[in-house]
Amino acid sequence: MARQLKYFEAIREAQAACLASDDAVYVIGNNVPSPSGVFGTTTGLQERFGAARVRDMPSSENGMTGVVLGSALVGMRPVLIHMRVDFAVLSMDLLVNQAAKWHYMYGGRMTAPITVRMIVGRGWGQGPQHSQSLQAWFAHVPGLKVVMPTTPHDAKGMLIAAIQDDAPVIVLEHRWLYNIDGPVPEGHYCEPLDCSKIVRTGRHITLAGLSYMTLECLSAAAMLAQIGVEAEVIDLRCLTPIDGDTLVRSVAKTGHLIVADTAQTAFGAGAEVVAIASGRAFSLLKSPPARLGLPHIPTPTSPALADLYYPRAMDIARLALDRLGIERALPPEPPTDRPWRDTPDPDFTGPY
Amino acid sequence: MNAPTPTVKRALLSDMMRIRMVELEIARLYGEQEMRCPTHLCVGQEAPPVGVSRHLRRGDLVFSAHRSHGHYLARGGDLKAMMAELYGRQTGCASGKGGSQNLVDLAVGFMGSVPILASTISVAVGAALGTTMRGEDRIVVSYFGDAAVEEGIFHETMNYASVEKLPVLFVCENNLYGVQSALDVRQFAGRRIVDIAAAHAVPATSGDGNDIDEVWRLAGAAIAAIRGGGWPAMLELATYRWLEHCGPNDDTAIGYRSAAELESWRDRCPVARCRDALLAEGGLTKADFAAMERDIAAEMDAAVAFARNSPFPPPDALASHVFPG
């Protein structure tokens, strides 16, 4: 059996591989060398690679984004980490105005090979300012690459590819993926930063997921299978660009499309996916493509509200039946003795 | 190193004259509407970049903000490529994609200028971090104006430069106005800009930014200290722009500053003071000065002709360089 690692371990291994293979790589972020090591993703790296290359930093998100950019201009390959996307909002000036433009606005004379890891929080009352999923903001800006790996395999391979890429790459990691196991090859390997992956084949409907919502799509596909509906699941993985070829091939086969995003639906990545499918495969669609994501509401903190806020597999499956015009009843969700759905698994006991 | 020798001072004058004449030529030609980009001229502010650049070595790096022509030229940036950039041509220093606000000349370590005031301060500090991590022996200069210190990133990265003891010279050209807003509505009058640096443990000196001797002396001392100890330093240089914030015109008639105020600063013209002192000291003859003007004019005319005769970027340049590779 292939070696299994958790998602957060795969991230740590990717950074260690790059630190070991390239002296220009360094990792920097608030609390990076601390005992908790950004949810375990940087634990032990400073002991192994030294304080010059695995660095703490002041809580100066914008300034430090400029600092890593400046270091990249003179030959370094920094990895900057934000424990929440919400803190990266403070760095929009440097990401949007500077890092994204530096290659273009000087006519290709310089490159800005920076990688920015941002973690999307969820549950345990993360609330309005610890749970935003702002991939659409970043993907809207020409010059930034944006990826959202879902599996431990991709978390490692895509992070290595991001660090080796000469463009600024934003890697969004959903906190609820951190404890999930999966096969992860040893050594140095890259996954592409511009294509999606079919993670379950089917012929009746296409479910395209981003990040954690890919897992909900897979659960929905399992529910649908129990009543004879074969859903195809695409792990979108990359936003710049959305992999239209894989999408259109799948839609050509199924004729139906649902996109599940970790963010607010309005003005989101799902709209882009639906636009691509409609624009390139309009005549092949048998029902209006649908989007599923968060309502246009800030994240509530109380679990009583948060449980209403996040869509889950059952919602995807119901929407699939609606689009397919099937009126059969879905199997019930597996029973649970947990009072709330605000943690990814029973082992998760907060606070983050 | 208390005063520049006559030879050095002649070179300083020549560099200031070059900036002055280029800026006035741009102002003269701007109305033709062929230079179609926001252009922030630095007439009146020639001394800071010239006095600082004289102490820089090959390999040192320079970052600037929107009013960058003087910083670029004083560092030795290619004049032809700058003019072509203002004219939006393929031969421009940024291939026509940057304009006046995004000058670059890597051959002389001019790493870029940007119009978002304090943004490049952080990038300059990062270049200092990177070059230090690589074990290189360079210093980095970051030019900015008085309004940039009102943006948080100035404080964030001055703190970091101090924490990491990075070889950065922060040069604040205080020209008293942010666009058309006076300093005293933006910053508490009793708090000096150098005091902010001091609060971040960055040694800072203020001086007369219209006195080339003083700028040269202060910059020399600050840069020597940075090279000696790998510690950041800051200069705040009092100066004044003669033309409007952005564009080629005198703007004293519109009411935010007075003609009398401008006149008082014109009386302290850095170029004229330097020239007159050299003439009085015998370090320069009127004939020398006339030759200097002639040489600069010839170079300038050639640069403008080069720009105007250069092709515009081809259509396929539009989508190139969004991503490397």
**What's the CA gap between B56 and B72, in Å, rounded?**
13
Is residue A52 within 8 A of residue B133, CB to CB? The reply is: yes
Contact B126 A68 (CB under 8 A): yes
Q: Does residue B163 belong to the interface with chain A, where contact is any CB pair within 8 Å? A: yes
Cβ-Cβ contacts under 8 Å, B63 against chain A: 70
Return the pLDDT at A191.
98
Q: How far is B325 from chain A (nearest CA, A)?
A: 8
Contact A63 B160 (CB under 8 A): yes
Nearest CB to B119 within list A26, A66, A105: A66
Nearest to B133 among A65, A76, A167 (CB): A76
Distance of residue A156 Cα from the nearest chain B Cα, in angstroms: 22
Domains (ranges, CATH) in chain B?
Answer: 6-241 (3.40.50.970)
Partner residue opposite A166 with nearest CB, options B95, B127, B325:
B325
Residues 113-152 of B with CB under 8 A from A: 114, 116, 119-131, 133-134, 136, 152
Per-residue pLDDT, B1: 63
| Span B90-103, average pLDDT | 98
Check CB contact under 8 Å for B104 and A109.
yes
- The CATH 3.40.50.970 portion of chain A extends over 4-183
Cβ separation A106–B112 shorter than 8 A: yes
pLDDT value at residue B151: 97
Q: Could you report the predicted ipTM of this complex, rounded to two decimals?
A: 0.97
| Nearest chain B residue to A108, by CA | B321
Mind listing the pLDDT tens digit for each residue in B155-174? 999 999 999 999 999 999 99
Using CA coordinates, name the residue in chain A closest to B61.
A74
Residues of chain A in contact with residue B159, where contact means CB-CB under 8 angstroms, are 58, 60, 63
3-state secondary structure chain B: CCCCCHHHHHHHHHHHHHHHHHHHHHHHHHCCCCCCCCCCCCCCCCHHHHHHHCCCCCCCEEEECCCCHHHHHHCCCCHHHHHHHHCCCCCCCCCCCCCCCCCCEHHHCEEEECCCCCHHHHHHHHHHHHHHHCCCCCCEEEEEEHHHHHCHHHHHHHHHHHHCCCCEEEEEEECCEECCEEHHHCCCCCCCHHHHHHHCCCCEEEEECCCHHHHHHHHHHHHHHHHHHCCCEEEEEECCCCCCCCCCCCCHHHCCCCHHHHHHHHCCCHHHHHHHHHHHHCCCCHHHHHHHHHHHHHHHHHHHHHHHHCCCCCHHHCCCCCCCC
Q: B255: pLDDT confidence band, cut at 50, 70 and 90?
A: very high
- Picking from B133, B155, B170 by the largest number of A CB atoms within 10 A of its own CB, the best residue to mutate is B133
Distance from C-alpha of A25 to C-alpha of A114, rounded to nearest angstrom:
10
Residue B94 is nearest to which of A58, A93, A107, comparing CB atoms? A107
How many contacts, defined by CB atoms under 8 Å, are there between A and B?
A: 144
Whole-angstrom distance, CA of residue B311 vs CA of residue B91: 7
Establish if B319 touches chain A: CB-CB under 8 angstroms. Answer: no
Name the one residue in this structure whose structure tokens are 């960058």: B68
Q: Looking at beta carbons, which residues of chain A come within 8 Å of B162?
A: none
Q: What is the pLDDT of residue A345?
A: 86
Q: What is the pLDDT of residues B213-222, one digit of tens each?
A: 999 999 999 9
CA distance A102 to B113: 10
Helix axes B270-281, B6-30, angle to 10 degrees: 140
Chain B residues closer than 8 Å to A66 by CB: 119-123, 125-126, 153, 157
Catalytic residues of A: 61, 130
Other beta carbons within 10 Å of A338? 9
Residue by residue, DSSP assigns A139-177 as HTSTT-EEE---SHHHHHHHHHHHHHSSS-EEEEEEGGG
Which pLDDT score, from 0 to 100, does residue A338 have?
87
Expressed in angstroms, the distance from the first to the final Cα of chain B is 48
What is the architecture of the domain spanning A4-183?
A: 3-Layer(aba) Sandwich (3.40)
User: What is the average pLDDT value for chain B, to the nearest integer?
Assistant: 97
Write down the pTM of the prediction. 0.97
A282, burial (CB in 10 Å: exposed 0-12, middle 13-18, buried 19+): exposed
CB B119 to CB A94 under 8 A? yes
Helix (H/G/I), strand (E/B), else coil: A27 = strand
CB contact under 8 A, B102 and A26: no
Nearest residue on chain B to A60, judged by CA atoms?
B156
pLDDT for the residue numbered B296: 98
The chain B residue lying nearest A58, using CA atoms, is B160
Chain A residue set in contact with B, beta carbons under 8 Å:
26, 52, 57-58, 60, 62-76, 93-94, 97-98, 102-111, 142-143, 145, 166-167
User: Residue B153: its chain A contacts at CB < 8 A?
Assistant: 60, 62-63, 66, 93-94
Residue owning tokens 């983050």: A352
Q: In which residue ranges of chain A is CATH 3.40.50.920 found?
A: 197-324
| Percent of residues, chain A, with pLDDT higher than 90 | 95
Among A67, A93, A142, beta carbon nearest to B129: A67
Query: Are B126 and A72 inside 8 Å of each other by CB?
Result: yes
Q: A62–B322: do the CB atoms touch at under 8 Å?
A: no
Substitution target in B114, B142, B321 with the highest count of A β-carbons within 10 Å is B321
What CA–CA distance (Å, rounded) separates A253 from A273? 17
CA dihedral sign, ordered A9, A15, A20, A26: negative
CA distances to A23, A135, A169, B111 from A69, rounded to whole Å, are 17, 20, 12, 12
Average pLDDT (B69-79) is 98
Identify from A19, A49, A105, A170 which residue to disrupt to test chain B contact, counting B C-beta atoms within 10 A and taking the largest count: A105
* Residue-by-residue pLDDT tens, chain A, 352 positions: 799 999 999 999 999 999 999 999 999 999 999 999 999 999 999 999 999 999 999 999 999 999 999 999 999 999 999 999 999 999 999 999 999 999 999 999 999 999 999 999 999 999 999 999 999 999 999 999 999 999 999 999 999 999 999 999 999 999 999 999 999 999 999 999 999 999 999 999 999 999 999 999 999 999 999 999 999 999 999 999 999 999 999 999 999 999 999 999 999 999 999 999 999 999 999 999 999 999 999 999 999 999 999 999 999 999 999 999 999 999 998 888 888 999 988 888 877 7
CATH fold of A197-324: Rossmann fold (3.40.50)
- Suggest the residue from A90, A104, A240 to mutate for an interface test with chain B (most B CBs closer than 10 A): A104
